[in-house]
Structure 1
């Protein structure tokens, strides 16, 4: 009977203590789960326009000399993204170049015949195929190229001399490759290498040492550009879609 009485007293004391301890505990704080924010979806489908600057450098067998020239211009085109990461497009580009004051000296006429070629404008219409890595697009391009004519001149001791050449040096082809990066909604920047070739030619008549000489009419260019991209609505949605 004594043991039962002691057990009852202990239970009563415990029952009085537990509520007091519970009252001393701080209330539990509930926090809201962070909102779901998926990564941006980059879509290259759409039209674009932009501009570029860079440099042009003649090939080894060109008549424009070895010094580089500054160029700047505009471009526009359209891309279509398919099969998740592949991008197919077409682009038109036009560049203006600074004047060329250099040339190539051909021996055989005493002081030699100085021949130079000066073309101030380059253009191209190309297709391009690329593979996108999210905001980055690695691409290759190629197609038709043209320039503002064949401005070849020859002189001996500063005096112009007559000559003739063969070949059409107004139309040609171009190939290139580049990397474009979408750094903001509707904006992308690129850097690319592009090679222009307008064929080879031969001097048919002119001073001794010049007749029969062949040359190549080509340009190597490096450009940095900036594009503004327009959406295609239901075709591709926004260029950078965020949820």
Structure 2
């Protein structure tokens, strides 16, 4: 009987002490969840890209006499040269907070062509063509993460070719070519769709001013060189794709 009582007391003591031993085990340390990371698109860095689109040039011709024999300007005609263009661009941007600044050079092959009848010479048609466009601009933009709106301005250069012909049979009378410098302003919207890639739309207006140009040809040999004062503006709208070198995002907590 004594042994039975001692055994019972031991079992009760063992049952009481077991929970206490479990409670004495070290608690698992609490680990705080890592903070959320916000990925901010960074527009800084060098980039290269390609563009393509549509252009339109408004040209007006004033007759101002002949070489060595100037006369008062008389309006001849006005016409449009339209067509496609394609080329590339290279530039550098740097970002400060949400503001983005940049420099860019762009060169495009162009096929802007048009013709219009002369109002001074019956049966004569004047043809115009732009075969190349270059832009050298600075940019100022504002970024909403991976969306960038910017304005730009700077210098522009175009390659022009002109010719006059008899309307019947397109027989050449005279021609002239020039490389003309002017100014440009524009605006664009660009979207970063991948770490180093962006796509955008841009519109540019080129102020090419007016310039006197002497024409020569089979039916206008020296010294009989007619001079035309040619006024010119150009509008161009392009889709652009750029690849930017360097780190695409900055992670901030």
Question: Higher strand fraction: Structure 1 or Structure 2?
Answer: 2
**How much does 1:217 deviate?**
2.1
- 1:106 deviates by 1.4
Partner of 2:131: 120
TM-score, normalisation: structure 1:
0.70
1:64 & 1:40 partners in 2: Cα distance? 53
Residue 169 of structure 1 contacts residue 198 of structure 1 at CA under 8 Å; is this kept in 2? no
Is the Cα–Cα contact under 8 Å of residues 162 and 176 in structure 2 kept in the other structure?
no
The Cα offsets for residues 39-79 of structure 1, whole Å up to 9 and x where unpaired, read as: 31111111000101101112264889436311111101000
The corresponding residue for 2:38 is 39
Q: Is 1:68 the equivalent of 2:82?
A: yes
Q: Distance in 1 between matches of 2:210 and 2:174?
A: 20
**1:107-150 Cα deviation digits (max 9, x unpaired):** 23232x211221211111111111111111110111111123x3
Question: 3-state SS of the aligned residue for 1:222?
Answer: strand
Match of 2:118 among 78, 89, 106: 106
Write the distance in 2 (CA, Å) between the matches of 1:65 and 1:108.
15
2:243 aligned partner:
228
Partner residue, 2:101: 88
Unaligned stretches of 5+ in structure 1?
A: 1-31, 232-237
**Distance (Å, rounded) in 2 between the aligned partners of 1:115 and 1:240:** 53
- Corresponding residue of 2:249: 240
Q: Which runs of 5+ in 2 are unaligned?
A: 1-30, 62-76, 220-225
Aligned length: 198
The DSSP-based 3-state class of the residue aligned with 1:37 is coil
Give the match for residue 171 of structure 1. 181
CA distance change for structure 1 residues 119 and 205 in 2, over 3 Å: closer, same or farther?
closer
Paired residues of 2:57 and 2:112 also in contact (CA < 8 A):
no
Decide whether aligned partners of structure 1 residues 176 and 64 sit closer, same or farther in structure 2, where only a CA change above 3 A counts: farther
How far residue 197 of structure 1 moved from its aligned partner, in angstroms, is 2.7
- Counterpart CA distance in 1 for 2:136 and 2:81 is 26
User: How many Å apart are 1:242 and its aligned residue?
Assistant: 4.2
Two-structure CA RMSD over aligned residues (Å): 3.0
Q: Confirm or deny: 8 A CA contact 2:141 2:150 kept in the other structure.
A: yes
Q: Secondary structure at the match of 2:185?
A: strand
Partner of 2:233: 218
Question: How many Å separate the matches in 1 of 2:203 and 2:90?
Answer: 17
Aligned to 1:134: 145
